[in-house]
Amino acid sequence: MKDRATIICSRDGKVLLVARARSRWSLPGGTIKRSESPLDAARRELEEETSLVGAEFTYLFQFGGLSKRHLVFFVNLPQDASPEPRNEISRCRWFSPTKISTLITSIPTREIVDLFLTHENRGETPSAVIDKPDGRVNGTAQPYVDVADTASTGLKPSYQGGNS
Protein backbone atom coordinates (compact mmCIF):
# COMPACT_ATOMS: atom_id res chain seq x y z
CA MET A 1 0.00 0.00 0.00
CA LYS A 2 1.41 3.41 -0.97
CA ASP A 3 1.45 6.29 1.50
CA ARG A 4 0.00 9.60 0.37
CA ALA A 5 0.22 13.00 2.06
CA THR A 6 -3.25 14.54 1.80
CA ILE A 7 -3.99 18.13 2.79
CA ILE A 8 -7.28 19.67 3.89
CA CYS A 9 -6.95 23.41 3.26
CA SER A 10 -9.63 25.55 4.84
CA ARG A 11 -10.47 29.21 4.39
CA ASP A 12 -13.65 30.94 5.54
CA GLY A 13 -15.42 27.62 6.10
CA LYS A 14 -14.60 26.33 2.61
CA VAL A 15 -12.31 23.49 1.55
CA LEU A 16 -9.81 23.66 -1.31
CA LEU A 17 -10.05 20.99 -3.99
CA VAL A 18 -7.81 20.52 -7.02
CA ALA A 19 -8.27 18.70 -10.31
CA ARG A 20 -6.23 17.62 -13.27
CA ALA A 21 -7.53 18.31 -16.79
CA ARG A 22 -10.65 16.22 -17.46
CA SER A 23 -10.44 14.60 -14.05
CA ARG A 24 -12.43 14.55 -10.82
CA TRP A 25 -11.86 16.86 -7.87
CA SER A 26 -9.59 15.78 -5.03
CA LEU A 27 -7.79 17.11 -2.00
CA PRO A 28 -4.27 18.36 -2.70
CA GLY A 29 -1.52 15.84 -2.03
CA GLY A 30 0.54 13.04 -3.44
CA THR A 31 2.84 10.11 -2.89
CA ILE A 32 5.40 10.31 -0.09
CA LYS A 33 8.89 9.68 -1.43
CA ARG A 34 11.18 7.27 0.42
CA SER A 35 13.59 10.06 1.30
CA GLU A 36 11.04 12.43 2.85
CA SER A 37 8.84 12.66 5.91
CA PRO A 38 5.05 12.85 5.57
CA LEU A 39 5.20 16.53 6.57
CA ASP A 40 7.83 17.30 3.92
CA ALA A 41 5.70 15.51 1.33
CA ALA A 42 2.62 17.52 2.35
CA ARG A 43 4.53 20.80 2.05
CA ARG A 44 6.05 19.80 -1.30
CA GLU A 45 2.76 18.63 -2.79
CA LEU A 46 0.83 21.70 -1.65
CA GLU A 47 3.43 23.98 -3.23
CA GLU A 48 3.72 21.89 -6.42
CA GLU A 49 -0.03 21.74 -6.97
CA THR A 50 -1.22 25.14 -5.67
CA SER A 51 1.88 27.37 -5.23
CA LEU A 52 0.92 27.85 -1.55
CA VAL A 53 3.87 28.02 0.86
CA GLY A 54 4.57 28.97 4.46
CA ALA A 55 1.46 27.42 5.97
CA GLU A 56 1.37 25.72 9.38
CA PHE A 57 0.41 22.06 9.06
CA THR A 58 -1.48 20.09 11.69
CA TYR A 59 -1.49 16.31 11.45
CA LEU A 60 -5.03 14.94 11.74
CA PHE A 61 -5.27 11.21 11.04
CA GLN A 62 -4.51 8.33 8.69
CA PHE A 63 -7.22 7.15 6.35
CA GLY A 64 -6.97 3.70 4.79
CA GLY A 65 -8.12 3.70 1.18
CA LEU A 66 -8.25 0.67 -1.09
CA SER A 67 -4.74 1.10 -2.47
CA LYS A 68 -3.35 4.10 -0.55
CA ARG A 69 -2.92 5.13 3.04
CA HIS A 70 -3.66 8.84 3.36
CA LEU A 71 -1.74 10.73 6.04
CA VAL A 72 -4.08 13.69 6.41
CA PHE A 73 -2.88 17.17 7.37
CA PHE A 74 -4.88 20.34 8.00
CA VAL A 75 -3.93 23.86 6.92
CA ASN A 76 -6.00 26.89 7.88
CA LEU A 77 -5.23 29.52 5.25
CA PRO A 78 -5.67 33.28 5.56
CA GLN A 79 -8.39 34.97 3.54
CA ASP A 80 -5.89 36.46 1.10
CA ALA A 81 -4.36 33.05 0.23
CA SER A 82 -4.77 32.53 -3.49
CA PRO A 83 -3.97 29.05 -4.79
CA GLU A 84 -2.82 28.81 -8.39
CA PRO A 85 -2.90 25.50 -10.29
CA ARG A 86 0.57 24.22 -11.17
CA ASN A 87 2.21 21.17 -12.72
CA GLU A 88 -0.40 18.49 -13.41
CA ILE A 89 -3.17 20.48 -11.69
CA SER A 90 -5.39 22.54 -13.99
CA ARG A 91 -8.00 23.78 -11.48
CA CYS A 92 -8.03 24.94 -7.84
CA ARG A 93 -11.33 25.96 -6.29
CA TRP A 94 -12.87 26.56 -2.87
CA PHE A 95 -16.05 24.62 -2.10
CA SER A 96 -18.47 24.64 0.80
CA PRO A 97 -18.59 21.28 2.58
CA THR A 98 -22.17 20.64 1.46
CA LYS A 99 -21.21 21.24 -2.17
CA ILE A 100 -18.35 18.71 -1.99
CA SER A 101 -20.82 15.89 -1.39
CA THR A 102 -22.44 16.67 -4.77
CA LEU A 103 -19.20 16.84 -6.80
CA ILE A 104 -17.50 14.10 -8.76
CA THR A 105 -14.64 13.19 -6.42
CA SER A 106 -12.78 10.08 -5.37
CA ILE A 107 -14.31 8.11 -2.52
CA PRO A 108 -11.35 8.86 -0.21
CA THR A 109 -11.70 12.62 -0.87
CA ARG A 110 -15.38 12.59 0.05
CA GLU A 111 -14.85 10.33 3.09
CA ILE A 112 -11.86 12.30 4.41
CA VAL A 113 -13.76 15.60 4.16
CA ASP A 114 -16.84 14.05 5.80
CA LEU A 115 -14.74 12.56 8.60
CA PHE A 116 -12.93 15.84 9.17
CA LEU A 117 -16.15 17.87 9.26
CA THR A 118 -18.01 15.38 11.45
CA HIS A 119 -15.32 15.46 14.11
CA GLU A 120 -14.65 19.18 13.72
CA ASN A 121 -18.32 19.97 14.33
CA ARG A 122 -18.27 17.83 17.47
CA GLY A 123 -14.98 19.30 18.63
CA GLU A 124 -13.43 15.83 18.38
CA THR A 125 -11.01 16.18 15.47
CA PRO A 126 -8.02 14.06 16.44
CA SER A 127 -4.94 16.15 15.80
CA ALA A 128 -1.37 16.81 16.75
CA VAL A 129 0.67 19.83 15.68
CA ILE A 130 3.81 18.77 13.89
CA ASP A 131 6.76 20.70 15.13
CA LYS A 132 9.68 18.35 14.62
CA PRO A 133 11.93 18.79 11.56
CA ASP A 134 11.57 15.15 10.56
CA GLY A 135 7.78 15.39 10.54
CA ARG A 136 7.23 13.30 13.66
CA VAL A 137 4.28 14.10 15.84
CA ASN A 138 4.71 15.13 19.48
CA GLY A 139 4.86 11.50 20.63
CA THR A 140 1.07 11.18 20.63
CA ALA A 141 -0.95 8.28 19.27
CA GLN A 142 -1.90 8.72 15.65
CA PRO A 143 -5.53 8.00 14.81
CA TYR A 144 -6.03 5.55 11.97
CA VAL A 145 -9.24 5.26 10.03
CA ASP A 146 -9.87 2.42 7.59
CA VAL A 147 -12.55 2.60 4.90
CA ALA A 148 -14.15 -0.49 6.44
CA ASP A 149 -14.22 1.26 9.83
CA THR A 150 -16.11 4.23 8.42
CA ALA A 151 -18.75 1.99 6.89
CA SER A 152 -19.23 -0.34 9.84
CA THR A 153 -18.84 2.03 12.78
CA GLY A 154 -20.42 5.24 11.57
CA LEU A 155 -17.14 7.14 11.11
CA LYS A 156 -15.75 6.33 14.55
CA PRO A 157 -11.98 6.08 14.09
CA SER A 158 -9.99 3.25 15.56
CA TYR A 159 -6.66 4.28 17.03
CA GLN A 160 -3.20 3.06 16.18
CA GLY A 161 -0.39 4.10 18.49
CA GLY A 162 3.14 5.08 17.58
CA ASN A 163 4.86 7.48 15.28
CA SER A 164 4.65 6.29 11.69
Number of domains in the chain: 1
Q: What is the mean pLDDT of residues 92-108?
A: 92
- Indicate which CATH number applies to the domain containing 40: 3.90.79.10
As a whole number of angstroms, the distance between CA 32 and CA 15 comes to: 22
- Reference 5, options 61, 82, 81, 84; nearest CA is 61
pLDDT digits (tens, 9 = 90+) for 110-149: 999 999 988 776 555 444 444 333 444 433 334 444 443 3
Q: Say if pTM beats, i.e. exceeds, 0.85.
A: no
In a domain, 132, yes or no: yes
Are the beta carbons of 94 and 16 closer than 8 angstroms?
yes
- CA 49-7-9 angle, 5° bins: 90
Q: Which domain holds residue 142?
A: 2-157
Between residues 30 and 142, the one the model is more confident about:
30
